[in-house]
Amino acid sequence: MSSEEALSSTITDWLFINSWWLLLPFIMLLVVAAFIVAFVLLLYMISPLISPKPLKLNGAHVVVTGGSSGIGKCIAIECYRQGAFITLVARDEAKLLQAKKEVEKFAINDKQVVLCISVDVSSDYSQVESVIKQAQEKLGPVDMLVNCAGTSISGKFEEVEVDRFKKLMEVNYLGSVYPTRAVITTMKERRMGRIMFVSSQAGQIGLFGYTAYSPSKFALRGLAESLQMEIKPYNIYVTVAYPPDTDTPGLAEENKTKPLETKLISETSGVCQPDQVAKIIVRDAVQGNFNSSVGPDGYMLSALTCGMSPVTSITEGLQQIVTMGLFRTIALFYLGSFDSIVRRCMIQREQSKAADKRE
Ligand SMILES: NC(=O)c1ccc[n+]([C@@H]2O[C@H](COP(=O)([O-])OP(=O)(O)OC[C@H]3O[C@@H](n4cnc5c(N)ncnc54)[C@H](OP(=O)(O)O)[C@@H]3O)[C@@H](O)[C@H]2O)c1
């Protein structure tokens, strides 16, 4: 070997021995990535251990307020077809009896019972307490309470009659507080139960036309978060459902007075079927999930508005952490398009007013 070759070989050896330091950052990056992947996998694996045990609906007593129509009736059917005993609560007795007949068609055994109770859930707590007592005497302690009784109106803030603001808070908010208050002590004694509040996507975002409705649905979220912290040690889980527009008699009634802006904004997402919504809500309540949303829009809204709300699985928490920024970006585009709908409607109205004056 010539002296030149020897020198070159020495340099190559030196480089080989010393250049692995250059790879050190990559090796460290790989190790960190491997740790993160292993950590996330571990979280996914232990997630079911931390999540609540699913409630068995077979043989359970489920009380559904607003169970005579729309989403509430479909929730009652979904629970009944899984073997539950049902108490339907609403005001109109004829509608209740009709709903009872419809629910009974889905029996899976001949022991199942559907009980009907006519009461206004929003007016007098002692009345609500007494009918819940009656229901518990007949069908046993309540395992799951579904607070679905509710009503909606839409209209421009200054055009909504002042007493409607009070009425909506009474029906949508107090109408959920009273039945919940009436079942909670027994649930705590039994150290088990599920409480469901049927809010709305309008309980996650304030939209044009919902100045009376939205606050009554936002209020349920505050109630649910505070209550969940109190009753979690008693193995009682709260679910807040945020349905999108759903094809029910309630929606048909609301559509009669919807301002054009509200209609156009609502049209950006479709209308769901109540049985489809009910299936998702019941599944989430059975699993003890705090949030229950429908469809991709609902998923995005729930992740965006999770704030300090409880998580019922690590998977859910991880998804929220990862998706928050992206969803906020998408939401800004939605907000921009809603603002532009409102502006266009205003300009059109002003132009047609001006044209009317000229004529
Ligand atoms: N449909 C939608 O697009 C939609 C979307 C998001 C959220 N939601 C919410 O989902 C729930 C059900 O809506 P829906 O569209 O299915 O309504 P719906 O078809 O009008 O049914 C409402 C039910 O609530 C009962 N109810 C109303 N006020 C009551 C009161 N003071 N006391 C006892 N029962 C009362 C009604 O029976 P009586 O009138 O006989 O009492 C009926 O059984 C509501 O809370 C609503 O805000 C609906």
In the reported structure, the alpha carbon of residue 70 is separated from the centroid of ligand 1 by a whole-number distance in angstroms of 7
pLDDT at 9: 77
Which atom of ligand 1 is closest in space to residue 241's alpha carbon?
7
- With respect to residue 290, please indicate whether it lies within any of the assigned structural domains: yes
Residue 29 lies in a domain: no
* Residue 12, number of CB atoms within 10 A of its CB: 10
- The Å distance, Cα 208 to ligand 1 centre, comes to 21
* C-alpha dist (Å) from residue 224 to 183, 202, 230, 249, 340: 15, 16, 10, 26, 34
Residue 115 lies in a domain: yes
Q: Which two tokens stand for residue 235?
A: 């193995």
Tokens of 11: 């340099």
CA distance 303 to 83: 32
pLDDT value, residue 229: 97
The confidence score (pLDDT) of residue 20 equals 67
Structure tokens at 143: 């395992």
CA-152 nearest atom, ligand 1: 47
What range defines the domain where residue 283 resides? Answer: 61-323
| Domain count along the chain | 1
Within a domain: residue 37? no
Evaluate whether residue 47 is within a structural domain.
Answer: no
Q: Which residues contact 171 (CB under 8 A, 6 or more apart)?
A: 121, 122, 149, 150, 151, 216
Question: Is residue 207 a part of any domain in this protein?
Answer: yes
Question: Which residue in the list 80, 178, 210, 213 is annotated as catalytic?
Answer: 213
Look up the CATH number of the domain holding residue 298.
3.40.50.720
What pLDDT is stored for residue 125 in this prediction?
Answer: 98
Atom of ligand 1 nearest to the CA of 96: 40
Residue nearest to atom 44 of ligand 1 (CA): 150
Q: Which two tokens stand for residue 14?
A: 């030196």
- Annotation says 213 is catalytic: yes
Mind listing the pLDDT tens digit of every residue in the chain (359 residues)?
677 777 777 777 776 666 767 778 888 899 999 988 888 777 777 766 678 899 999 999 999 999 999 999 999 999 999 999 999 999 999 999 999 999 999 999 999 999 999 999 999 999 999 999 999 999 999 999 999 999 999 999 999 999 999 999 999 999 999 999 999 999 999 999 999 999 999 999 999 999 999 999 999 999 999 999 999 999 999 999 999 999 999 999 999 989 999 999 999 888 999 999 999 999 999 999 999 999 999 999 999 999 999 988 888 888 899 999 999 999 999 999 999 999 999 999 999 988 888 87
Which residue among the candidates 214, 217, 266, 302 is catalytic per the annotation?
A: 217
- Catalytic residue list contains 217: yes
In a domain? residue 52: no
pLDDT of residue 337: 95
Residue 303 near residue 319, CB atoms below 8 Å: yes
Q: What's the pLDDT score for residue 15?
A: 66
Active site includes 256? Answer: no
Which of 64, 65, 69, 75 for mutating ligand 1's site (highest number of atoms within 8 Å of CB)? 69
Cα(341) to centroid(ligand 1), Å:
28
Q: For residue 145, what are the β-bridge partners?
A: 63, 195
Element (H, E) at 146: strand 144-147
Q: How far is the CA of 119 from the centre of ligand 1 (A)?
A: 14
- Tokens 């707590």 locate to 125
- The residue whose CA is least distant from atom 7 of ligand 1 is 200
Q: Is residue 16 part of a domain?
A: no
The number of the ligand 1 atom at minimal distance from the alpha carbon of 199 is 7
Mutation choice for ligand 1 from 151, 171, 180, CB with most ligand atoms inside 8 A: 151
pLDDT of residue 132: 97
101/91 Cα distance (integer angstroms): 17
